[in-house]
Structure 1
């Protein structure tokens, strides 16, 4: 009869997640000017944020790939629709089975209209039917810019919302991305 020793027990491949089920994951602040000048690095920023947010998950590569897609669409929308000056502030939080991204975006009148329109389209009763219709026909210019954000809502089940402070020179865009239940998508 042999008694198992500590060395006989196979080590676990992954330690338990270090981050709590809910809480801050990472935040990023950058100037509008710097963001606009270095747009060609957007995919690298999206990949970095996704890898960081996925580091302690059971399948980090799979989660990072999906989140990189989400974050890239968000960064692209912000790149195309922001005010001329100011700072973009993003906070990434883990909230139950989702990643909640809150982006404070400097706006002007045109970009405020874009975000209001995109959220209105994403929160209509049947956004999937509308989305399919747009893909089959010529998309109006106002809707074409919103398709990336709408794809996150209709294809992946993300939830979009905005709030505007009374000052009117920035808004808070919140997107709740599915995270742990991506197997069901």
Structure 2
């Protein structure tokens, strides 16, 4: 099922990768994130700063898909832009249990208590890494995060980042 993109967002780039390739080596998350971030950031005011910030945020998202340990299916990452906002749509295979967990954390982000929830998660040794990742994006990058409905066994994160307005 294709998600309808807001007409104000213009497509920039799309990456499609077999999940088996991604989960074969942890370093693929960082390598793909760095490459894509440099491609998308080339025309920003401070392209190196922008690429570094985007790479770090994107790496976190790729690591979430890596943690699923799903080796069947495809990971799809699409970039869009509207002014100063970069939109990342990351689609990957995911179990119903994992999806429920992600829905819970995205709900926590939306309730206005992202910072309090983030502090709880990073001080709890039993907390799932994915929760810290999503809350960290919301707190540290001022990201807007949504889940988009997908076919069974798939999920899509829609993450809007306004990296040029971040002060540090």
- TM-score, structure 1 as length reference: 0.78
Aligned pair count reads 161
The 5-angstrom pairing of residues 6-45 of structure 1 reads 22-45=9-32
Contact 2:91 2:154 in 1 (8 A): yes
The 5-angstrom pairing of residues 100-119 of structure 1 reads 100-119=87-106
Q: Name the residue aligned to 1:162.
A: 147
- CA distance in 1: counterparts of 2:85 and 2:27, whole angstroms: 28
Q: Name the residue aligned to 2:127.
A: 141
Q: Name the residue aligned to 1:7.
A: none
Q: Name the residue aligned to 2:65.
A: 78
Q: Name the residue aligned to 1:151.
A: 136
Name which of 113, 117, 128 aligns with 1:130.
Answer: 117
Q: Name the residue aligned to 2:3.
A: none
Unpaired stretches in structure 1, ≥5 consecutive residues: 1-20
The 5-angstrom pairing of residues 41-52 of structure 1 reads 41-52=28-39
Cα deviations by residue, 1:94-137 (Å, 9 ceiling, x for unpaired) = 122211001121122232123212212222222112222333x4
Contact 2:93 2:153 in 1 (8 A): yes
- CA distance in 2: counterparts of 1:82 and 1:161, whole angstroms: 22
SS of equivalent to 1:117: helix
SS of equivalent to 2:77: strand
Q: Name the residue aligned to 2:164.
A: 180
Unpaired stretches in structure 2, ≥5 consecutive residues: 1-7
Between structure 1 and structure 2, the one with the greater Rg is 1
SS of equivalent to 2:164: coil
- TM-score, structure 2 as length reference: 0.86
